[in-house]
Amino acid sequence: VCFVAPAQMNIAGAEYSNKKATIEDAADDGDGDRLSKLPNDLLLNILERVDTLDALRACFLSKQMLKLPTLLSQLFLSAVLRTNRAVAHVTDNILSTRSPEITISKLKIKFVLTQHESLTIGKSVARAIATQKFGAAEFEVTTDKAYKICSPADFLHFGKQFNDFVGACPDAFAGLTRLWLRNMRFGEFDIPNILSTCKLLESLRLSHCDSGIHSVLQVEHAQLAELEIDQGKFERVELICLPKLQRVRYNNWCSYEDPLYFGFAPQLSKLILTKTAVRSQKTLELSQLLANVSSISDLHLDFRSEKIWVLPECPKLLTPVLSKLQHVNLDHLPEGCDLAWTMFILEAAPSLKELCITLWDHWCIMTTDNEFRKKYGFCEKIDMKWKPYAPDFKHKNLAKLTIYGFQPDDNLLRYIRSVMEHAVNMAEISLHDRKVCVSCSDLDSEIKDKFCPSRYPRTAEKRKQTTEELGSLAMIHFRS
């Protein structure tokens, strides 16, 4: 059996030195062979919990363990540019020397898109899929340039390079179950063609990928269950026919219209939308966005501490699309904003069980330059106006309310009392202090001066005072 030479593995494994230390210490302790004394099934269980490069390094330290790499059922290989060649070589060696009787339950390879190494990996995986028993296979493909330094020509080049890769290794892509692409610009029909090649694909993630500025992506696939899009310049993503789609996440679309169109997606249950919105961008109406979808049970909206970009609507319009909604997470709402508008969700979602709200002026992700904010239309804090359509409505299923960033001011106390009044079977209200971000401590002092000190009640006396103001001792829990 031929594997990568130890010297070559030293180079490839440099990125993982911290993670592998425990394994190496165990494999070379005292008599130099503690690990090899363990039963093979236990050794395999240990080795499959770390990156495969680390597992190989540990096996090289013990003669008794040299045979184990061919018995691994889970393979995780991850490369940066300088280790890309080693990962390609390891992939080829492991997959070509395995017994076809041992199922590969999971294969995950992260690699940099380069012509020679990509082809080595692709052809090795294609041969393995054709000759061995396979469970799940995943490619995570990145580029040799980071997004921030890519020119438009770079994006086009990477898109063409990936198309050539798919064309050269169609059998590998036909067996993939997960695919994550970064920093690529495709032609109009390239992504649909890639999807038609990846017949078994269950999960697709596109980060900084598109088909051109203001392009429309149409998605049809018989097996796809998860779709994630980060950034990109799509005008709209049309989910035409996805009978097994369960989860969609869209992060920071650039469209001024509805970013998504849902066609046939009868199993869609979780929707995550994240957006840093400016004044000129459209406020989404959920009744229109989800007009063809009535199966959503989990909704996560992240406002990135900026404009509220969802419009409160009347229950008559919303209930048909939110009737099965059970979990709602409203993340990064601006601190100090009036939360009364969120009651429209309670009115329109009779099955709702949990509501989680995070109030946070997260300066790490906010644009702080005032001139830049004015130029590009960032909003100052403006409360969303809303009045209940049925002031005396009662909600029978909401059992838990969680608030991060709780401050004992009139605004929040009034809101919690309102929720308690309408949610007649409320069992638990969990109140947390602001979330903590380590990076925020590294910001300039000028920005730090904008921080308002937290007034979260930490003493028993202040907590008692807060619960008395809310009128309920049993269900209020202070978690920070």
Instruction: Report the residue count for the chain.
Output: 480
Mean pLDDT taken over the chain: 87
pLDDT tens for each residue of 227-253 = 999 998 999 999 999 999 999 999 999
Tell me the three state secondary structure of residue 176: coil
178, 155 Cβ separation under 8 angstroms: no
Q: Running DSSP on this structure, what letter comes out for residue 259?
A: S
- Euclidean distance between CA atoms 356 and 302, whole angstroms: 12
For residue 87, give the nearest of 70, 122, 111 by alpha carbon. Answer: 111
- Euclidean distance between CA atoms 456 and 3, whole angstroms: 58
Residue ranges of the chain with per-residue pLDDT less than 70:
1-36, 279-280, 363, 365-383, 441-451
328, 356 Cβ separation under 8 angstroms: yes
Amino acid found at 257: E
Q: Widest CA span of the chain, in angstroms? A: 76
- Euclidean distance between CA atoms 203 and 200, whole angstroms: 9
265, 242 Cβ separation under 8 angstroms: yes
Dig out the tokens for 94 from the structure.
Answer: 């492991």
The pLDDT value recorded for residue 386 is: 77
- Euclidean distance between CA atoms 189 and 349, whole angstroms: 38
The pLDDT value recorded for residue 444 is: 60
Tell me the three state secondary structure of residue 372: helix
Residue 130 CA: distances (Å) to CA of 62, 172, 173: 32, 9, 12
The pLDDT value recorded for residue 30 is: 47
179, 206 Cβ separation under 8 angstroms: no
The pLDDT value recorded for residue 233 is: 93
H or E element: which one contains 210? Answer: strand 203-210
For residue 133, give the nearest of 89, 177, 73 by alpha carbon. Answer: 73
Residue written as token pair 């419009």: 311
* Angle formed by the axes of helices 52-60 and 84-97, nearest 10°: 70
The pLDDT value recorded for residue 5 is: 42
Helix runs in 169-302, H state only: 170-174, 190-197, 286-289
Where are any strands of DSSP class E within 74-152?
Answer: 74-78, 104-112, 134-142
264, 222 Cβ separation under 8 angstroms: no
Dig out the tokens for 247 from the structure.
Answer: 């989860």
**Could you tell me the pTM of the whole model?**
0.87
